[in-house]
A and B are shown apart, each in its own frame.
Chain A
Amino acid sequence: MDVLKRVPVREQDAKERAANFKEVCLGYNKEEAMCEAERCINCKNAQCVKGCPVSINIPGFVEQVKLGNMEEAYKIISESSALPAICGRVCPQESQCEGKCIRGIKGEPISIGKLERFVADWARENGIKPQGAETKNGKKVAVIGSGPAGLTCAGDLAKMGYDVTIFEALHEAGGVLVYGIPEFRLPKEDVVKKEIENVKALGVKIETNVVVGKAVTIDELLNEEGFDAVFIGSGAGLPKFMGIPGEQSNGVFSANEYLTRSNLMKAFDEDSNTPIMHGKRVAVVGGGNVAMDAARTALRLGAETHIVYRRSEEELPARVEEVHHAKEEGIIFGLLTNPVEILADENGWVCGIKCVRMELGEPDASGRRRPVVVEGSEFVIDVDMVIMSLGTSPNPLISSTTEGLEVNKWKCIVADEEFGKTTKEGVYAGGDAVTGAATVILAMGAGKAGAKGIDEYLSNK
């Protein structure tokens, strides 16, 4: 065995998976996991832990995998993370734990994500559950939103003995984990639902179909429903559109709508009661993880799919693994390309997308080179469906109905990073509602910080 190289992970064949919604990555088995764990040199001053937003004791759990003590490995991970089967699948490890791995200097870093996933899957298959608090402290906390931030915050507080209720606006718990990330990256029934059950097993109650800001306000939760503190993890918000002509045509969707239909409402399944448009040729505008998810969903529903992104491959905000998978499956990348108009037929249906070529100029405020239009480069891509994946702007539902809750100039809720403390007493916040659209693990990190902040606040009250 070459210690510089990772134990390769088995994947579903690219051709085969392009036509189904089953999980792409098949994960390690026990032998493969133990073999990969052997490569860890158990650094004293472990850099990987510093790269983890929830500070999992990585060398600790990898050491247990090495020895074959999977239950012990699961306990170590559970001390820091409530959703390991999810993080093992969707964290951008290459820029976090694995990005800091000493092994990565000369060879390939340890496959920490794949090991975490293996341990979590093993625990689920063997019926191992995280441990709840032995005694309750009698204090009530409300958590708004059951996505990664809310679930993590709720899980941590429940372990500390708090009586936690999560309020979810949709009919199902999980937030972006159920409506946003597709089945082929994150299986809902076997992985997401089971992790949520684990959080519930800690004593957390989840009330679905409650839109906070409409059915009940934060102030009512605090003053009338007897909650001692509130954590807001309400997520990203309203999808952005480009504001170009033709964008209201039939066949133009936000990635949020397209993915919600497919993931939450199961519209990818022919028997679903919720419809989804099956495009023949689809353009997905944007280059983030959400754009990749939408493109790969359209591909699986039978479309020739184009990514349309105005910068070059280097600037694609999506994870390297997602871009790699998308290419393998046959997604066509239209880089340095920017839409200027969506063309529609006489009945209002999309029949093409007019684009211009771009070139990269001087770096802009984000440090990335600014794309500039190449004069006279207009051309049309022949498509019957367009998916806009341009990010989101914050939902004002909570901030506009909560007195004393400050928002910044982007309308995100103002909260400190260390404890998630907002400008309103007893109210904490974290995740996309605070940072704007980011990742599952950063939201989890913010959920943890919020739990710490709420515990400190209520312990001193």
Chain B
Amino acid sequence: MYKIRKAEELTTNIYLMVVEADRVAKSCKPGQFVIVRTDEDAERIPLTICDYDREEGTVTIVFQIVGGGTQFMSTLKEGDAFHDFVGPLGCPSELTNEDIESLKKKNILFVAGGVGTAPVYPQVKWLHEQGVAADVIVGAKTKDLLILEKEMESVAGNLYVTTDDGSYGRSGMVTNTIQDLVNEGKKYDLCVAIGPMIMMKFVCKLTEELNIPTIVSLNPIMVDGTGMCGACRVTVGDEVKFACVDGPEFDGHLVNFDEAMKRQQIYKTAEGRAFLKEKEGNTHHGGCGHCN
């Protein structure tokens, strides 16, 4: 069992948990993910690692309620435990393999959307620890749904917050902010975009025009997370890749997003979609795969 050290509702339907998982905490790197199960009969849920503390042996996860499994997970409290917590899975962010000196010379832009802010955070933090300041755009539907703003502020070079409805920070989609920054004269050598599939698709469309190489992190349907099932296959350029072992990060300009979005709907039934819409209320932004 993997004890929950801390459980916090960050905002409506988005939760943060600090979990005791010694082996994962000792070996994980930014960009990797875990698979969790709440109890003996629960489904396996993949979640990107948000933070880790090697000394304490803890891993931080952030998740959004998107169905029955995550709904139940949100009821867990400090002192409760996960039945299973396996990882780290997937490849670490490529940034962690690069030469620090050459990273310092690069202008890197992170684009985080919604709950995707959580997996962006450890990468920016890691760069900050190496002395690299990266720009970060965080997008949220509305002010109340913004998460990890303070945390991000303390590790980012410049932080740009934008809300779809203009209730906080800049107004509009993350792509507007990217365009604004470039218009203001900012030059970027690399973009890392993590968020809803539809956001990553449009960020990639824009950065391709702007000629900025872009990495995205995919979170497709998976079962085992070790390469065994092939559920998470995604077309990247001419090749079929398994997101769990070849990814989760890929060259965003080569990912077939339309296919990936279709594949996300495989197990979504009509009832399931209705449930999502009702539960997610005004945070509903394409998670059901049917209202992009």
Contact = CB atoms under 8 A, between A and B. Distances in A.
Interface of A: 169-171, 179, 208-211, 214-216, 237-239, 241, 243, 247-248, 250-251, 253-254, 256-257, 260-261, 265-266, 272-275, 277, 347-348, 395-397
B259 A348 contact: yes
B125 interface: no
Main secondary structure of the interface of B (DSSP, over half): mixed
Contacts of B89: 211, 214
Contact of B266 (A210, A273, A277): A277
B79 to A, nearest CB: 20
A397 B245 contact: yes
B259 A253 contact: no
Given A215-B23, A397-B245, A253 B231 contact: yes
Interface in B243-273: 245, 259, 262-263, 265-267
10 contacts: A169-B86, A169-B224, A170-B224, A179-B228, A209-B84, A215-B23, A215-B87, A237-B227, A248-B240, A395-B245
Q: Is the interface of A mostly helix, strand, loop or mixed?
A: loop
**Which of B43, B223, B245, B263 is packed against the most chain A CB atoms within 10 Å?**
B223
Given A248-B235, A260-B229, A273 B240 contact: no
A56 to B, nearest CB: 30
B266 A214 contact: no
B86 A273 contact: no
A273 B242 contact: no
Contacts of B267: 275, 277
Given A241-B233, A348-B259, 13 more contacts: A169-B86, A171-B44, A209-B86, A215-B24, A239-B228, A243-B240, A250-B266, A256-B228, A256-B230, A260-B229, A273-B42, A274-B44, A277-B266
- Chain B interface bracket (under 10, 10 to 19, 20 to 34, 35 or more): 35 or more
B218 to A, nearest CB: 14
Nearest to B223: A260
B75 interface: no
A273 B68 contact: yes
A256 B231 CA distance: 9
B238 to A, nearest CB: 11
A248 B44 contact: no
A397 B228 CA distance: 11
Contact of A171 (B24, B27, B84, B263): B84
Interface in B211-240: 223-224, 226-231, 233, 235, 240
B94 to A, nearest CB: 16
B265 A250 contact: yes
Contacts of A215: 23-24, 26-27, 86-88
B223 A257 contact: yes
